[in-house]
Every structure is written in structure tokens, then in C-alpha cells.
Chain A
Amino acid sequence: MPSHDVLIIGAGLAGQRAALAAAQTGASVAIMSKVHPVRSHSVAAAGGINAAISVDDDWHSHAYDTVKGSDFLGDQDAIEVMCSEAPHEVMHLEHIGVTFHRNEGGELDLRAFGGASMKRTAYVADITGQAILHVLYEQLMKHHETVTRYEEWFTTSLLQDDEGRCRGVVARDVRTGRMETFNAKNTILACGGAGQVYRPTTNALIVTGDGIAQAYRIGAPLMDMEMVQYHPTTLAENGILITEGARGEGAVLLNSEGERFMEKYAPNKMELASRDVVSRAEQTEILEGRGVGAERSGIWLDITKVPRKRTLEALREIVNIGKDFAGVDITREPIMIQPGQHYIMGGVKTDIDGATSIEGLYAAGEVACVSVHGGNRLGANSLLDTLIFGRRAGEHAAARSATMGMPKATDAQMREDVATIDAIIARPRTSRRVSEIKQELGDTMNQYVAVYRDEAGLAQALEIVKRLQEESKSAYIDDRGTVFNQDVLGALELGYMLDCAQATVVAAIERKESRGAQFRTDFPERNDAEWLKHIDISLNGSDPEVSYSPVTMTQWEPEERKY
């Protein structure tokens, strides 16, 4: 049975960074991912990574912008850690080979991003996530002797001993269908968010909340799950992302009257207000009948204001996206966009070292909630979050491993998971297809748990989610094989997504105010007196249970949020 000091689930930026950090300490490290590491969704992060590296910048300014962006729900101790360590981390990335764009002096160039008080986003054209992910994978190839890679292995369960400690995982080799138990002194979840709960979403098909649900199922509380970010610029029909970098480079938003409507909503920062503000402004314009397109459900993003030469150099990917996925040459004409699900601020609750409330279980990246993003994440802070807290979790888990003996799990959980999978494969084709349920879930969430929410809609959503949970227990699949049976993995993912959806809806019902990404039309004001606190969701029996935890404040008092 394979045994490792530190076992990391997920090989995006957080996972790979954790693996490299843990291996550096001499720990035996393995990284496991259901897809090849370079297919991880971090690859899609376009715009850049924030760090106060400019000589006239200061990490306190970055931290304040992040606190304000979070609508004061972010934990300020965690934000201080992230922002103060950011410059060092970006320099580390540069040293191991990330091809950051330079200024004329050969130093890192910086671009403007939403919610930031100055230019502090380092970038590689508009493929920053891809460039960093591929460079980290270069490092994993370099350190192949100290980091074992389990590529295309799907984790089915987290192992828990009688004392409630996490002792490794059960996983399935996607290529052969073989199931195996993995012992680990410490396990780090780094397997991303849950965007596929929504339809459409900018998130990849693999982003199905696996880690969030697996931790939740063994008792870890989830935090800030009601905070779901809608990105202001996604392609209307398929949710493909147009980077915020476009607005950072000078692109503007226009309604059907040709009006630059952000003047009304954020007179100072305009298009570069924080994402919740811009998405809400767009949605308001659409609801009030000033949308564009056949169904008046879109907004124009006009990139023609950016010099063409600069667009081709720095926004090349979205030139291609415009051409390939919308048939539009963005250097010559506006492109129709709308707000679309993009990121979840919530996740498995952790401390600033990535430790969850389950001993031996860590989490980092979008799967986790530290919480540095609070009610709303700033653009270009997510890459930073994955790297800072991935590294910290890796270091901390490795240090802890040095003081422990190797656990010895039995195969009991594995036998249970084998039985679960066999039962799914054997289901009669009399109920609903897994794909149908997934689609209904996505549509439901996008209708009721979106930019604007209210009690009635959320109650409706909760009822539907509960019904879908019931239906999923008998949902059938077609593939009876073992080699690359993606169908059966899809059925498991559906279960994870439904758990995440339920936690999100329950938390959204609970928070009776408007803050960050949560806007309740029935409670349109922010209410610090009652709701300046995190909502935690834990599994009690088979039902979610709500509790609260305080927001950590260090140096910034809540104030009115204006852009």
C-alpha cells in the first residue's frame, strides 16, 4: 500500500506549489490528480498575479484593497499574510522560470486590475495561469525523484480513523479502474472550486467540488459558501471568460444606448471597480431593458479603445477567443458579454497554514476558505491565494509529518467505495440520466442563486436541490467498463456538486443582508451589526447545520464601500 508523508490531492497551482514546498523539506511527497496536472483549471487564469513589488507600492495598500474588495468579510490576519508574502512569491516564480512580461528597464511590468488602487498585477500576456502552471510542472519533472506523481487518479474518499483524524485517501486509477488505499500522515486538498454547480460557468468541466464535498462529508466545516463570484465579462452562450485584463488595458462597457454606464455605479474606478459591483451594474442595466443582443441579455465590451498593437501583444488569447468562440474581431468591434459564474470565495475552512478542523487534513486554493476573499475576490488575487497558501500548507504539513509515525489504514473504505461504484454501474436505466440532473442543477443555481437573490427564489432552489439529491441516488449511466470510465466518475462528481450546491443555498438563505457577491433584494443593505461574521456549514447526520465564526480584524475598520 503506497504511503507518503504528505499526499496532495489536486495538481493545479495550489497543489503543485504545496508539493514542491513539502518536498524541499525532505518529506516524502506525492501529488494526485484526476487529470494530467497541466490540464488543471489554474491553466485558465488569464490576467495576472497581484503583488506590491513596485517601489512606490506597499503591501498594506494591497491588503487594504483586498479587505475592501471582500466587503470587510475577509479575515485580515490571513490577508496580511497573503499580501506581505506576495512580492517574495512572485520573485520566486520569476527565478524558477515564469516568463513575466517586462518593462523597458527589464523589470517585471505591471498592469491595472479591478479594485486595485494602483498597477500591481504581474502577467504573462493573458496566459499567466498557464505560464505559471507549466513552469511549476517543469519543476515537478525536475524533482521527479522526490515527488511521486499519480496522474489521472480520481480520489473517491478521505480516510478517517476512529479519532477522526485524516489518514490518507482511497483513489481509482482512471486508466485501469483499479482502486487503491493510500496512507498519508497528512493530506492536502488542492482540487479547486465547484463552478460546474452553475450553468453556464467560466469553469472547466472538471471543477466539480470534489474536495469540498469530501471534506464536508468527514466533518470539516465549510465557510462563506454563499459568496459566489459572477465575473463581469463572460461570453453569453457558453460562459467562456474574457479576462479582466481587457478592462485593465482600457476596454469599456456599453449598454444598448451606447452609454458607458459604469459612470452611474462607480464614478471613480468605472470598469475597474470590484467584480461584484461591475456584475451587479451590468445585471441592473439588463433588467432595466438596456441590454444588447437579440434577447437584450448582454452588454458590449469595447476593446477597440485599446491600441491594436497592445491588444495583439498583451491580450492575444482573447483575440483568439473572440474569433473562435464568438466570431468577433475584438480589435475592430465590441463583443457581447454578460456576468457569469466564475469563482467561489467559500470552501473548506482553514487557518493561515491551511489546516482544517480535521487533524491531518489541509486545504489550499479555491477548495479552501482562509478567508482572504471574504464576500468578493479581487481579480489576480486567486493565483496569489493558491501559491501563498499552497506553499504554507505544504511546509506546515511536511513539518508536522516529521513528528509522526506512518498510519496504517485498512482496506475497509476502499471496499465500500468499490461497492458504491459497482452499484452505480449496475443501476437500471429506468430513472433519470446523471447528465440531466447535472443540467437541472446548473440552471437552477444560475436562476435563483446568482447576482440578485431573494428568500422565495432561494427556498425554491433548496427544494429543487433536495429533490435532485434524491434523484441522484438512482441516476443511471451507460458505461459498464473499467478503462477510462468517465461516466461513473461523473456520477460521483454529481454527488459532490449537489453537496456544494446545498451548502451554498443554505448559507445564502441564512445571510439576511447584502454584502459582496451576496445581494438579497429583500435585504438590500449591508448590516454590520448583525452579519459581520462568517457562516459555517457543517454536516450533521445528513443535513447541513449552520453556525457562525467571527471575522478577524487587525487594522481596518469596516467602512462604506465606494468605487
Chain B
Amino acid sequence: MAETHKPPEQFTLRLRRFDPESGEAPYWDEHTIELEPHRSVLEGILQAKAAADGSIGIRCSCRAAICGSCGVRINGEPGLACHTHLDHARASAGADGVIEVEPMGNMPVIKDLIVDMDAVHWKKVQRVTPWLIAKQPVPEREYLVEKEAMVDITQSMACIQCGACVSDCLAMEVDPGFIGPAALAKAYRFVGDPRDDEQDVRLRDLAEDPQGIFDCTHCFKCVEACPKGVNPMGQIMRLRRIAIDDQKIVDKNNGQRHEATMVGLIKDYGLLHEAEMVPRSYGGNSWFGKFHPAAGKELLASLPVAIKGVLKGKINPKIAIFGHKIPAADLKNVQRIYDKVESRPERYELNLYITGYDEVDEETPVPVGTTATNGDDESPAAPDTEGSAA
């Protein structure tokens, strides 16, 4: 039985401060506090605030990672201050061991660690029509729905709107108009809800918006950032899959066909067949794709690059045209991976709530909430990384 009490230790916090009324630039402010090492960075900040400087600005309320108020960046990584242990934060700090706390990224700073979530996060949530459009007629009692369907969307419901994923979203950094991980995870909560009547309308809307589901660059930052295991990117990938497979919606950015081509070529050849990539992405995913007018246009456009590559010796024309060859046994092994992945049941397979435990050995660490940014030494569990499967 665990005894959790360890003696208090000193920790130094370096807080990013900004006073909008002073006319001064942001600055760093250091405070040394004393607490047991497993207490949170938030408790450290609150101690500094209570004992030394009450003007330190940070939103906080529940202290238990449920209200979502205290999203910050700790040593550059986004997360909840109340959900990050002081000793873990010190371990991920720079050489001086000082814990750096800054406001979240991708949102304007109002004061100190407080950012304007209305201007970014909540505006994006509004964008996804964030309420149930209930199937009619409304039953007298509850809608009868599958048990798994409700558990499935509970993962999206578990989002506490803290903004940690928004803070770290690389796509949003480049394209501030991207709807973003939190709002799209929220969208899945409706698209996956069997009681919702407009799943097709929602999907078409989110798929056809150039800043919608196909704007995500698949970088996994939001998955790492989320303190609640919501796996926003996974939800985006589910939206994509339902849009493509069930609703037959075509991604206008061509990303989806590009991906399909890549997957198809590797299945057929074991290695990428570069010359086939462009025509198949644009003309259709088959050997005949290159005769499609769209493919011809695209091939023509890429000709200068190809010629330049050949002249500089970066492209071997023979391999480019005839493709790579790998031993037959290796190709067979590659194809066995495909068979295994493709034989899995879809949709629910990778939801934390549903299968977080099934595939895991009883003696391995619990695969729950392991995506926290608090320097947790458990690695993210396999079921949490749906996006890696095409």
C-alpha cells in the first residue's frame, strides 16, 4: 500500500508575467516555494500568490483537472498547472532546474498566464454547430441507442475545454483559421452520436471547409497535449474516415487520394513507386490513373522538377519509371501487415473507453490518461494512437 508522503522541498518557478496596463513588455518573475514534490505546479503558483505576490494572474478553480481553467505551458509544453507534479516539472526543466510557466500559445495574452480563449477557442467551438440536432420525433422516454455508441462519444465528452491542444496545434500556427483539434473533437461528439439527425450535413460542412478536417497535418501534438486522453487528432481521423467511407465525400485538397495512393503503392510494391504517386493521386488510384486528364495536367506541371532532379542525379530514371523491387518474401510480409490491419473491425476499435484495456496485458500499466504532459513515465498506450492507422 503506497505511502505518498514525502517531505516538502524547495522549487523555483519562473513565471511569464505581462501587465497590459503598464505599457511594459512581458518579463520573467521568479518565486521559490516549498511543497511536497508530488504537489502540483498550480499549488506552487498559489503558494507564491498567497505568500508573496497576489497580483500573479492565473485562472484556476477545481485543482483536480476537471474544470479546465489552468491551461498553461510548463517548460514549453502545454498542459494543466494543477495536473503537473512539481518534481516532474523540475525534471523536464532546463539545466538550472527552474520550472518555467508561460501562457498558452495560439491565443492572445490578456494578463500574465491568462489568455483570451473567447477570441480563439470558443469561436472555433461555435463554428461546429455545437449542439445536438435531435432526430424527430423525440421519444417519450430515452432514445434507444447502442451502449458502445454512447461510451464511444464519451471520449469526446471528456474534453474539459482547457485549450492545451489549441495551444500546441501546429496547423493552427500556420493557418489561424483552422477549426482546430478541440472544436473538431467536439464535432465528433455529434457526428458519432446516433441521436443526431444531421451527421451528413455536419460532415460535408467540415470536409468541404478548406480549414476543416482535412487541414489537420497529423502531427500528434494535440494528442500529447491533452490532459484528459481525448485524443483530438484521433477524433479528426474518425471524422475523415466517416466522411470518406460512409458519406463518400471527396477531399478537395486531394490529401485523401494522395494517402490512398501511398497506401496502395506500398501494398503492391513494398516500397514507394514515385512516378506513380502524382498521376494516381490526381487521376485515380490505379495503373490507368495516369491517362486521366487531371493527372496529365499535374504531370506536366511537375515535369520541370523531375528534369531538374534527373540532371542533378537525385532521380534515377530507371527506378523512377519501373519502380523499386524488393524480395518476394519481404513483399509478402508487408502484405501480411495490411491483411492484419484491414481485418480489424472499424469505428470503435481504438476508443480508449472501449478497448483501452482489452488489448493490454493485465500486468502492464493502466492505459488511461497516459497522454498527460506531466513527464509521466508511462508511454502513451497503443490504443490511443488511432491516427497512425490509415
Contact = CB atoms under 8 A, between A and B. Distances in A.
Nearest to A144: B126
Given A97-B131, A319-B366, A319-B369, A327 B59 contact: no
A97 B134 contact: yes
A109 B189 CA distance: 20
A473 interface: no
B62 A106 contact: no
Contacts of B40: 325
Given A105-B144, A124-B157, A312-B368, A41 B61 contact: yes
Nearest to A295: B5
A240 B54 contact: no
Nearest to B5: A294
A85 to B, nearest CB: 15
Given A102-B145, A238-B43, 12 more contacts: A39-B59, A40-B67, A43-B66, A44-B62, A44-B64, A205-B60, A238-B39, A313-B354, A325-B64, A327-B38, A481-B21, A482-B21
Contact of A477 (B54, B118, B160): B54
Interface in B117-151: 117-118, 125-126, 130-132, 134, 138-147, 150-151
A99 B150 contact: yes
Nearest to B352: A316
Nearest to B132: A97
30 contacts: A39-B62, A39-B67, A44-B66, A44-B67, A96-B132, A100-B150, A101-B147, A102-B146, A104-B147, A125-B158, A127-B157, A127-B158, A131-B157, A141-B131, A204-B67, A205-B63, A240-B64, A300-B1, A308-B357, A312-B368, A317-B66, A327-B4, A336-B4, A433-B54, A435-B50, A477-B54, A480-B55, A483-B20, A483-B111, A486-B57
A206 interface: yes
B161 interface: yes
A18 to B, nearest CB: 18
Contacts of B25: none
B339 interface: no
B64 A321 contact: yes
Interface in A277-298: 292-294
A35 B59 contact: yes
Interface in A3-58: 35-36, 38-41, 43-44, 53
Contact of A95 (B3, B134, B145): B134
B62 A43 contact: yes
B224 interface: no
B7 to A, nearest CB: 11
Nearest to B143: A94
B110 interface: yes
A41 B114 contact: no
Contacts of B146: 102, 106
A109 B68 CA distance: 28
Contacts of B130: 138, 141-142
A329 B366 contact: yes
B53 interface: yes
Contacts of B143: 94-95
A38 B157 CA distance: 12
Given A127-B158, A319-B366, A39 B2 contact: no
Contacts of B145: 102, 106
Interface in A414-441: 433-436, 439
Closest 7 CB pairs of A and B: A97-B132, A479-B55, A435-B50, A106-B144, A478-B54, A487-B54, A138-B131
A35 B67 CA distance: 10
A484 B110 contact: yes
A373 to B, nearest CB: 22
Interface of A: 35-36, 38-41, 43-44, 53, 91, 94-97, 99-109, 124-125, 127, 130-131, 134-135, 138-139, 141-142, 151, 175, 204-206, 237-238, 240-241, 292-294, 300, 308-309, 312-313, 316-317, 319-321, 323-329, 331, 333-334, 336, 433-436, 439, 477-487, 490
Contact of A141 (B43, B50, B126, B357): B126
Given A94-B142, A324-B83, A333-B1, A483 B21 contact: yes
Contacts of A124: 154, 157
B328 interface: no
Interface of B: 1-5, 19-21, 36, 38-40, 43, 49-51, 53-55, 57, 59-69, 83, 85, 110-112, 114, 117-118, 125-126, 130-132, 134, 138-147, 150-151, 153-154, 157-158, 160-161, 189, 193, 195, 353-354, 356-357, 362, 365-366, 368-369, 372, 374
Nearest to A320: B369
Nearest to B360: A312
B154 A99 contact: yes
A433 B143 CA distance: 54
A502 B193 CA distance: 48
B63 A134 contact: no
Given A99-B154, A487-B55, A327 B2 contact: yes
Contacts of B151: 101, 125, 313
Contacts of A481: 19, 21, 55, 111
Contact of B142 (A91, A141, A321): A91
A175 B111 CA distance: 9
Contact of B193 (A99, A103, A308, A317): A99
A139 B69 CA distance: 21
Contacts of B189: 99
Contacts of B64: 44, 240-241, 321, 325
B4 A324 contact: no
B152 to A, nearest CB: 9
Contacts of A141: 125-126, 130-131
B109 to A, nearest CB: 11
A328 B142 contact: no
Contact of A125 (B49, B142, B353): B353
A39 B61 contact: yes
B366 A312 contact: yes
A23 B147 CA distance: 33
Contacts of A321: 64-65
